[in-house]
Chain A
């Protein structure tokens, strides 16, 4: 019975081939479209997202890149998605297409599969981890080395920072760099501050409730 149940479920989770062709219609050559369809269908059966493949194919064609190079770029994205998914699984996160996409972006930006696994092991919820991975990729694109990058994002995730606060990290780094620090030093400084804040709580007026005033003495 489980087998019979698994078959329709698998069929339902596979990206509809028509949907891929529809998005690519008129935007890429038939050869590139066929490749995306093949890679996308196989990938979605393994729980991988299809959108990054479609986007890369459309991007390449829009930029006037020859078909063979577009195809190579699409294959590279498919490999990155596989790598990111494996790294996240290693870190304990089950298939989550947004997190996989964010992980693939972070690898493109310069992080390694081990870095992705390290972030996944922090144990944040998938939504927070996805934001963390996007931020880590952005920090890498800003020139923050992997060690300082992962330390900063990990401590921020552990301390339960909101998505809005996580998204401010690249701007915070840029602000410190504008003052003359290197990206590594800026990230390290922000990590120390975040760790201290996690130990002692936020500074007064930053999300912590004010203590009640002492009761007046009895007459």
Chain B
């Protein structure tokens, strides 16, 4: 139809604005031809199987590119995040409990406390002598849980707390136990 350059009135005929009878006599032949061409046009829906097939094939190729073994590292990283990093961030630290340690050692020059809470550092937690009574004390805030400890008298003598339960330390001595 692109080869035809119909008269504007014939175009109105094709648009349904005019009838064939309304066309001038000299244009009726042209109008009839235009209607014939219009009727001959194939109005079957256009199917493009080749295009569909190519699009689906492209999608399929992309799908095949996802290899299962590639998922393993990704899953491992996700699992590591869940198992390792995430709990570490979510787990609240245990609450602190205030504890007062007391040792009666009238002859001691210095007393300190060493245990699991201070990496067994015999110098980290000194006790304070209360006047001339020979009573040594220290007050600490410790995380809830279980701690083992001993007093260190004059920097060399490891003494279990006489006021607390004790267990074998594995070295022939006793460690005091504090369960908070």
Contacts and interface: CB of A to CB of B under 8 A. Distances in A.
Interface in A70-99: 70, 73, 76-77
Interface of A: 1, 4-5, 7-9, 12-13, 27, 55-56, 58-60, 62-63, 65, 69-70, 73, 76-77, 101-102, 105, 108-109, 134-135, 137-138, 141-142, 167, 170
A-B interface, 9 closest residue pairs, ranked by CB to CB distance from nearest? A141-B165, A8-B76, A73-B170, A4-B72, A62-B120, A12-B80, A59-B120, A134-B146, A138-B179
B41 interface: no
For chain B, what secondary structure do more than half of its interface residues adopt (helix, strand, loop), or is it mixed? mixed
Contacts of B84: 12-13
B171 A73 contact: yes
B69 A4 contact: yes
Interface residues of B, number: 34
A142 B178 CA distance: 12
For chain A, what secondary structure do more than half of its interface residues adopt (helix, strand, loop), or is it mixed? helix
Contact of B171 (A60, A137, A141, A167): A60
A9 B80 CA distance: 7
B71 A134 contact: no
Contact of A62 (B69, B121, B146, B167): B121
Contacts of A1: 68-69, 71-72
B180 interface: yes
Given A77-B170, A108-B167, A167 B180 contact: yes
Contacts of B14: none
